Amino acid sequence: MEKILALSFLITIGVTIFMEGLHKHVPKAYIYLPMGFALMVEILQMRYEHNRQRLKG
């Protein structure tokens, strides 16, 4: 899952840089909001896995 997330970030940044190279403005919120959301989901998933392993034994 982490590899897919990292790849999607790289693609997003690459497309943004490409569009900026063509002088098309891309609002930074289109980049930062999905990254922030994915970061929050990833943190929640790590906490869930940690707690599950701890309770499992």
pLDDT digits (tens, 9 = 90+) for 15-37: 999 999 999 999 989 888 988 98
The mean pLDDT value for 37-53 works out to: 91
Q: What is the pLDDT of residue 7?
A: 87
Q: What is the pLDDT of residue 34?
A: 84
Threshold 0.95, pTM exceeds: no
SS3 track for 28-47: CHHHHHHHHHHHHHHHHHHH
Tell me the chain's radius of gyration from C-alpha atoms. Answer: 16
Q: How confident is the model at residue 8 (pLDDT cuts 50, 70, 90)?
A: confident
